Structures are given as C-alpha cells and as structure tokens.
Amino acid sequence: MFDALVRFVRENYRTDEFIPLHAPVFGGNERQYVTQTIDSTFVSSVGPFVDRFEREMEAYTGSPRAVATVNGTAALHAALLLAGVERGDLVITQSLTFVATCNAIAYCGAAPVFVDVDHHTLGLSAKAMETWLDDQAMVDAEGVCRLKPDGPAIRACLPMHTFGHPADLDGLLDVCMRWRIALVEDAAESLGSLYKQRHTGTFGLLGTLSFNGNKIVTTGGGGMILADETLGKRAKHLTTTAKAPHAYEFFHDEIGFNYRLPNLNAALGCAQLEQMERFVESKRALAGRYAEHLAGSDLRFVTEPADCRSNYWLNAVVCESRSQRDELLKATNEQGVMTRPIWRLMSHLPAYQDCRHGSLETSEWLEARVVNLPSSVLPGAGA
C-alpha cells in the first residue's frame, strides 16, 4: 500500500536513506556569516546581522517594520500584548493549529475562543467567526466587543496560515472591522506566501513569523514581529527589556522581555534569506509534482487558495477516512519516509478543552484525515 507514493518521494529526494518531513538546506553564505559573528565576538543580542536581518525582512515582506525575536512564540506573545490583549480577555482563533498559537494567548492571561476553519484554506473561517459573534457577542457603548451581555472583551482575532496557505484575509478583516476586533496574523508557517500579491503577516495590526529549524528559512530558533512604524518601535522596546536608550545608564520604563534574537542566529537568517526565492520555487515545484502524482488517487492533495501564492511549507493530503490515514502513516513511516498527522485539535488538549468554541465540524473532520508529506527543499535548490 502506498508503494508508488514512497517511490515517488524517493525519486524526488534521490535517496534510499531516511527522508525527514522538513530539513533545512544550508547551501549559501551560512558558514561565512556565522564565522564572521564569532570572529567579531558579537554572538549575542546586539550586532550588525540583527539589524540587517530586520531591514532585509522589511524589504522582503513589505512590512514597514520587522523586529527580530528569539522565537515565533515570543513574537506572538509580544504581538498580542501590543494589540492590547489583557488578562481576562478573549481571543478568537482556530482549534486546528500548532499549540504555540494558543500558548501565546494564555501567556497574556487571556483565553482562546475556537471557531471553525475553512475546508479549503485550512485557516480560520470568516463565516464561522461571524456566526459565533452574532450568537455570543455585542459591541458596547465604548466600542468594545464583548461576550453578551457584559462579559469579557473579545480583544483580538488570531488566524494562522496553515502549512503556508493564506487564510481568507479579506473576509477576516471585514468581520474584525465591523466587530471592532484587532487582527493579528500567525504567519509562522507562511514566509514567502502572498495573499492577492501582498505578503501574509502584513494585513493585520501585527503579524508574526517563525524561523524554527523546520521552517522554510531557519535561524536555528527565531521569530519576527511585522508591524507599522509606531507598533514596530513599541515591539522593539518591549522585546529588548524596555530599556530607555542611553550610552551607559540602565533605566527600564516598564516590564519588558528579553526576547531578542542573537546576532549569531541572525547571521544564519541573512544567509538563508538570500536563497528565499529559490526555496519557494523548489517547494512550489515539488507541490506541483505531488499534485500531478496524486491526481485521480483517493488522497486529495491540498492546493493553494485562489488569488494566493503559497510557499507550500508542508505538503498535505486529505485521506478518505481515519483508517486510511492510519494506513498511510504506518506504511510510509515503516519505509523510512517521514509523514505526520495534522495536530490534535487545541480544543482536545487538557489546557484548552474547557475553552469557549463554536461548531468545529470541519476542524474535527480534517483532524481525522490530514497527513503531511515530506516537504524539504529539493536537493540542489539552495545557494
């Protein structure tokens, strides 16, 4: 079973060895730049590569400001605080996501509200969000969206661009505007993905990226906050211990965080970013080959939404049933081709099982059927 798929993956990666789900490719200036930081002794939280990585990420994404952080979870935590999320608030998000999305909400002392995802984008459904709001929420006299009749504030909405496929941003922006809710995008997986030709993570009040080892561009560990000038400035301050600028005095004007990205990691990021378009092209080419190979089979290959360019960070198929999913996982992993099921729903985890939620029918359907296939950049695509 699934022998043809295993053969197909091996042909593309040109190996009989174990094939991981997503491995980084270091084919450019990585060694040179990292060595430069060691030679200069600036390996820690300040250094020219941090500034360079931020400016290059601004140019790449079109975001007015990009602020580097120690990881994507820290970026999300700070972004939610900057969007005004406070202890006791509610934040609307999807149950079908990686746990960091919810953890960042919890770090703010707020609680997630889970609404369903779209069948095709796998991202937060604007329609499901509106249905839940119509039923449960109101905008009070001060213009604050609240749980009816006078419950906690519903401060933000945090969609996630699943596996790199952009969520329905126009729909979500429209609902957020009408209900006075701040939109923050978890774009951890979607560096290089465009919605109507604009980079994901630049539509909301703030957006965040991750450069974890399994992402399209890695810094070892790292993240980024995307924001306008004002919030970007605040983001830099909050994530660098809230220190007032001074040549030698230490004065911190609020409780800040040490969420800075070290120069050593930023050096790796600069070298990786230089290869970004080749990485995206390679991943899109691989996705095209998967789609062709699986056409007519009983596995539905997940493709990019209309009007979008996906980075195809992780390729995914939707199986016909949970039992077919289990067979696929067993057959491929036993043959040294790594595949993984989509995450367990957040609403099924002990920490979040008591959170408020709308109908999660599509999320539950997908949870039982989606499998990720090997998705690393193809050999020879770096540098």
Structure tokens given for 301:
């290959």
Between the alpha carbon of residue 22 and those of residues 313, 314, 337, 347, the distances in Å are: 9, 8, 11, 26
Compute the least distance from the CB of residue 212 to ligand PLP, in Å. 4
Check residue 192 for interaction with ligand PLP (CB under 6 A). no
Residue 177, token pair as written in the block: 């505007």
Check binding of 160 to ligand PLP (CB under 6 A).
yes
**Three-class DSSP category at 115:** strand
Q: Work out which of 5, 100, 191, 346 binds ligand PLP, going by CB under 6 A.
A: 100
Contact 326, 77 (CB under 8 A): no
Cβ–Cβ < 8 Å for 160, 123:
yes
State the Cα–Cα distance between residues 298 and 290, nearest whole angstrom: 13
217 binds ligand PLP (CB under 6 A): no
Residues with Cβ within 8 Å of 224's Cβ and at least 6 positions away in sequence, in order, are 54, 57, 66, 67, 68, 69, 72, 75, 208, 209, 211
| Binding status of residue 71 toward ligand PLP by CB under 6 A | yes
| 316 near ligand PLP, judged by CB under 6 A | no
- Which stretch in 92-100, 237-245, 293-301, 369-377 sits in contact with ligand PLP by CB under 6 A? 92-100
Window contacting ligand PLP (CB under 6 A); options: 39-47, 93-101, 237-245, 280-288: 93-101
Q: Least distance from C-beta 158 to ligand PLP, angstroms?
A: 9
In the complex, the smallest distance separating the C-beta of residue 275 from ligand PLP, rounded to whole angstroms, is 19
> For residues 94 and 324, which CB has a smaller minimum distance to ligand PLP in the complex?
94
What is the number of the residue whose Cβ is closest to ligand PLP?
A: 72
| Binding-site member from 2, 13, 33, 98 for ligand PLP (CB under 6 A) | 98
For residue 151 the two structure tokens come to 């419950």
Q: Which of 29, 37, 200, 210 binds ligand PLP (CB under 6 A)?
A: 210
Give whichever of 8 and 352 is closer to ligand PLP, judged by the CB atom: 352
Q: How far is the CB of 350 from ligand PLP (least distance, A)?
A: 19
Q: What is the DSSP string of 66-102?
A: EEEESSHHHHHHHHHHHTT--TT-EEEEESSS-HHHH
How many other C-beta atoms can be found within 10 angstroms of the C-beta atom of residue 249?
Answer: 8
What count of other Cβ atoms lies within 10 Å of the Cβ of residue 38?
11
* Of residues 158 and 176, the one with the C-beta less far from ligand PLP: 158
Residue span binding ligand PLP (CB under 6 A) among the ranges 36-44, 98-106, 246-254, 322-330? 98-106
Binding residue for ligand PLP (CB under 6 A) from 118, 186, 304, 367? 186
Angstrom CA distances, 253 to 68, 70, 75, stand at 21, 21, 20
Interface size with ligand PLP, residues (CB under 6 A): 15
Q: Is 73 in the site for ligand PLP (CB under 6 A)?
A: yes
239 near ligand PLP (CB under 6 A)? no
Nearby residues of 163 by Cβ (< 8 Å), 6 or more positions away: 122, 189, 302, 310, 312, 313, 314, 315, 316, 372
Establish if 97 lies at the interface with ligand PLP (CB under 6 A): yes
Contact between 218 and ligand PLP per CB under 6 A:
no
**Helices 48-61 and 263-273: crossing angle, nearest 10°?**
40
Report how far residue 123's alpha carbon sits from residue 200's, in angstroms, rounded to the nearest whole number. Answer: 13
Binding site for ligand PLP (CB under 6 A): 71-73, 76, 97-98, 100-101, 160, 186, 188-189, 210, 212, 223
